[in-house]
Amino acid sequence: MSGPLSGAADPPLVVLEQATKRYGRRTVLHLERLELHRGQSLLVVGANGSGKSTLLRLLAGVTTASSGRVQRAPAFDALDIAYVPQAGGLHPNLSVAENLCQAVRLRGRREPDRLLERWYFGGLGLAEHMNTRFRDLSGGFQRLAALGCALATEPGALFVDEPFSGIDERHTRSVADGLAAAMGQLELLVLTSHRVGDFPAAGRVLELRGGEAA
């Protein structure tokens, strides 16, 4: 990781301008303009089908716009990007520990020292599931395991889709508190949720309705 979140600074890392995403004839997202700056934490909120996941994938570079402009600065391309989807994201037949080692090695990094003491394993309740195959975890724990593995790679920018969905109140608080702490080591954090209150530490909130900014 190359630096902490601190606040907006020029030039922007990512710019969306008149960006539209369509699936067939159906428009699922249209934003007139959105900028992401180094040091920002953005929470995208909205109901199911509002375009949150599509926007997250677009910002992370997982998908492309159907029309409009999406411009990424060289500084963004230089960051290690971690994208955590709402479902899946890890090898189903590998254990949590095996997925972790694979994720870290693919980034060319060594497994961090005293890994199990990191908040994203102890706090998320993953320590007792390290030898469980990913496919055998509940949906909520699959989400937590994917997030933990992403954080273990020490990314510069983190994009997380619905990290609070399908988990109980205790784990919701752990995720929120942990991500707030991780902001000190991230250049950029973007996540989605249904409620603003899930992540009160967000520096900026964008609400989507019907694929557009509310």
pLDDT at 120 over 80: no
Query: Residue 11: what pLDDT?
Result: 86
Contact at 8 Å (CB) between 17 and 33? Answer: yes
**Is residue 58's pLDDT more than 80?**
yes
> Does 9 score more than 60 pLDDT?
no
How far is 48 from 102, CA to CA, in rounded Å? 32
| Tokens of residue 210, six digits | 């019907």
Q: How far apart are CA 65 and CA 63, in angstroms?
A: 7
Taking only the tens place, the pLDDT of each residue in 145-203 is: 999 889 888 899 999 999 998 888 888 888 898 899 888 889 999 999 999 999 999 99
Taking a C-beta distance cutoff of 8 angstroms, is the pair 29, 51 a contact? Answer: yes
pLDDT band at 2 (very low <50, low <70, confident <90, very high): very low
Could you confirm whether domain 14-213 is CATH 1.10.357.10? no
- pLDDT of amino acid 100: 87
User: Among 124, 29, 132, which Cα is nearest to 84's?
Assistant: 124
Residue 173: C-alpha distances to residues 46, 154, 198, 210 (Å): 20, 21, 8, 28
Going from the C-alpha of 108 to that of each of 41, 81, 160, 164, 165, the distances in angstroms are 26, 14, 22, 29, 31
Percent of the chain at pLDDT exceeding 70: 91
Highest mean pLDDT among 12-26, 101-115, 160-174: 12-26
3-state SS class at 170: helix
pLDDT in tens, 61-85: 999 999 999 999 999 988 999 999 9
